[in-house]
Chains A and B, each alone.
Chain A
Amino acid sequence: MDSADKISKLGTRMMPYLAILRQDLGTLWASRLVRLWLAATALLTFLMAAANWTQFQDAPLIASLLFPYLVFPWFLVVVVLGVSPVSGSRAEALADGILSRPVGRCEYLIATWSARVVAVLSVYLVVVVPAIVVVTLAKRPVREDSVTVYGIVSALFVVGLVLTFLVSLGFLVGALLRKPLLAVVVLIFVWYPISFILSIFSLEQFSPVSLSRAVSTQLRQGWRQSEDEAKAASNMQDMQQFSEQMSNFFSRLSGAPARPKTSKGDFFETKEFEDFSLFRVTLGYGLPTLTAIILATLCFYWRDL
């Protein structure tokens, strides 16, 4: 068998997957939710960049741009996108339309999951990457910063990984609970206090808030830079600035006055954030993502449509 035949066979085999992926991406792009989210995320990124343009160095400013994806509010949109394909009335429609055709359930699930992940990551990268490019290249009235390309790529990767995990978690809960609204409510109640839950098990370093704070350090890390050097490069002032900025962010959202500075020793002052390891975070979010997909597939396989 020559290579052309192999490619042709692979193409035929992948045809349903690619067709569902393309169709789902088209449907997602046509949905109001995704378009509104794209507009809202662009607007918020612009406002945050403009508000802190003359105050923050590159690293904290970029970290503040990534904050809404990691902590609040965009996880809401991401879980809603994850929940919808396998729950509610859509399940019946897809049974009639797609799953009554020669398509495996696993094939369908992986294709729709891929479409969601591609859509979420596209919206995230389309907005954030240009903003980061502008922030790093523009001449701003702040001190020079040592943000590296590797740091930017790894920070983007970490946030992308968390978003992928959220989509997968939405998928799993959607497959388990069937009712989309109930699934979203459950996810909010699970995800919102996740930092607290993780701290109970001494896993703070995986919490979105911790990741968000560690991003500044990560942004300054070079490709071959040792962990010790990276730790040395971390700047407590950045952390403080960043904490204040996040506090302000929530205060603005809730309309409450900004919180006064506290002298309480927090996670960062104990230097636990220096334990941040890209490898560990990749495993910490990658394995649960895989588990969620496998469980969602099993759950969907056993389900009556």
Chain B
Amino acid sequence: MELAIRTEHLTKIYGQRLIAVNDMNLEVPQGSVFGLLGPNGAGKTTTLRLLLGLQRPTAGRAEVFGKSCGPNAVGVRSQIGYLPTNPKLPGNLRPIEYLDLLGKLSRLPRQVRKPRVSALLRAVGLLAATDQHIQTFSTGMCTRLGIAASLVGDPPLLLWDEPTAGLDPSARRFTLDLIRELGKTKTVVVATHILSDIDQICDHIGVMHEGRMIFAGSMQDMKRRLRRDDFTLELEGDNEDIQHLAQEAAKLDGLDARIGAGDTLVVGIADGRSRCGALAEVLKLVDAGNVSLQAIHSGQNATENAYLQLLQEDEAHGFGR
């Protein structure tokens, strides 16, 4: 597996007081969409800034495509497109001027730079705003421009920090779709604490807590590792009918069924029992009974549960961490 990012014992301590990143070992495979997940203050942004060489590690090292990161690692930064949280843009410039400036910073010749700037403005939907100064832009427009800015040099690695922060639903949808699209050709690292974003776009995930990487692996690994063998059926019908259904389901081999909050039936599956088979048998009972099925929720798909469980486990380890 070729790696886009590799860190070894990466540590950042601010002024001998605050441990922002704590002995982090991270491997991000090339071509993956990697979600860097963690609560506020977990060290996500610091990690990205260490990779960019904007900050120097207190200990350990970081590599991007096999090259060491640092303040003068121009070669590393030429392979990274960075989108900061709520990007601070020069308000006195227009979008074309700004992207052209960034193209020059990436040493792009004019014949490459100009068409790329036009294509990017079109791709992020800012063609109609090219004559406006950036200071008149809304948060969503600034994020779109920030996205275009991160893509000017056509880098193979994108580091996006909270790309959906402060966006309305349509802008958020646009950003997530774009990440999915870019993930087909580039390695994308998305730092966020919004779990649903990670769930939709990422194939690999790293969970940070208090500066430490407490889990890193594929999304499937994470869900499998924290699989909850139960599912919940939302039903509509008389209480008696629902209770009768619960009794019938409990009689099935390897299943435990109980009435949950509201008109729900919580079905637990014993170890070794096929989840699909169990679900099929319960659904047959529902179909045969006097109740109608409104929705099915599976604990296995709840990234939020997995994430919270990871954080709880990490805190429970105490000195073992």
B184 at the interface (CB under 8 A from A): no
Tell me the nearest residue of chain A to B88, going by C-beta: A93
Beta-carbon contacts under 8 Å, B68-103 to A: 71-72, 74-75, 77-78, 80, 82, 84, 87-90, 92, 101-102
Tell me the nearest residue of chain A to B161, going by C-beta: A96
B211 at the interface (CB under 8 A from A): no
- A104 CA to B77 CA, complexed, in Å: 10
Contact B74 A104 (CB under 8 A): yes
Chain B nearest CB, measured from A279 CB (Å): 36
Tell me the nearest residue of chain B to A98, going by C-beta: B105
Contact A16 B104 (CB under 8 A): yes
B54 at the interface (CB under 8 A from A): yes
Residues of A contacting B82 in the complex (Cβ-Cβ under 8 angstroms) = 96, 100
Beta-carbon contacts under 8 Å, A91-138 to B: 92-93, 95-106
Q: How many residues of A contact B (CB 8 A)?
A: 29
Contact A12 B107 (CB under 8 A): yes
A33 at the interface (CB under 8 A from B): no
User: Chain B's interface: helix, strand, loop or mixed, by majority?
Assistant: loop
Residues of A contacting B71 in the complex (Cβ-Cβ under 8 angstroms) = 105, 301
Chain A nearest CB, measured from B45 CB (Å): 11
The residue that B153 contacts in the complex, of A15, A93, A97, A102, with Cβ under 8 A, is: A102
Residues of B contacting A30 in the complex (Cβ-Cβ under 8 angstroms) = 92
Contact A20 B105 (CB under 8 A): yes
Chain A nearest CB, measured from B15 CB (Å): 10
- A254 CA to B55 CA, complexed, in Å: 48
- A302 CA to B87 CA, complexed, in Å: 24
Beta-carbon contacts under 8 Å, B48-72 to A: 49, 52, 54-56, 71-72
Residues of A contacting B72 in the complex (Cβ-Cβ under 8 angstroms) = 104-106, 301
Contact B92 A102 (CB under 8 A): no
- A236 CA to B14 CA, complexed, in Å: 61
- A92 CA to B71 CA, complexed, in Å: 15
- A13 CA to B107 CA, complexed, in Å: 7
B106 at the interface (CB under 8 A from A): yes
The residue that A97 contacts in the complex, of B49, B52, B90, with Cβ under 8 A, is: B90
Residues of A contacting B102 in the complex (Cβ-Cβ under 8 angstroms) = 101
Tell me the nearest residue of chain A to B92, going by C-beta: A30
Pick the most buried of A18, A20, A104, A302: most chain B CB atoms within 10 A of its CB: A104
Tell me the nearest residue of chain A to B98, going by C-beta: A97
Chain A nearest CB, measured from B151 CB (Å): 12
B109 at the interface (CB under 8 A from A): yes
Residues of B contacting A102 in the complex (Cβ-Cβ under 8 angstroms) = 74-75, 77-78, 105-107, 153
- A20 CA to B52 CA, complexed, in Å: 19
- Give the A-binding residues of B (Cβ under 8 A): 14, 49, 52, 54-56, 71-72, 74-75, 77-78, 80, 82, 84, 87-90, 92, 101-102, 104-107, 109, 153
Please list the 9 inter-chain residue pairs (A to B) with the smallest Cβ-Cβ separation, ordered nearest first. A19-B104, A102-B78, A101-B105, A304-B55, A100-B82, A93-B88, A96-B84, A305-B54, A102-B77
Pairs A–B under 8 Å by Cβ, sample size 8: A23-B101, A96-B82, A97-B89, A100-B80, A101-B77, A102-B107, A105-B71, A304-B55
A-B contact sample (6 more), CB < 8 A, given A95-B54, A99-B54, A103-B105: A15-B105, A19-B101, A27-B92, A102-B74, A102-B78, A305-B54
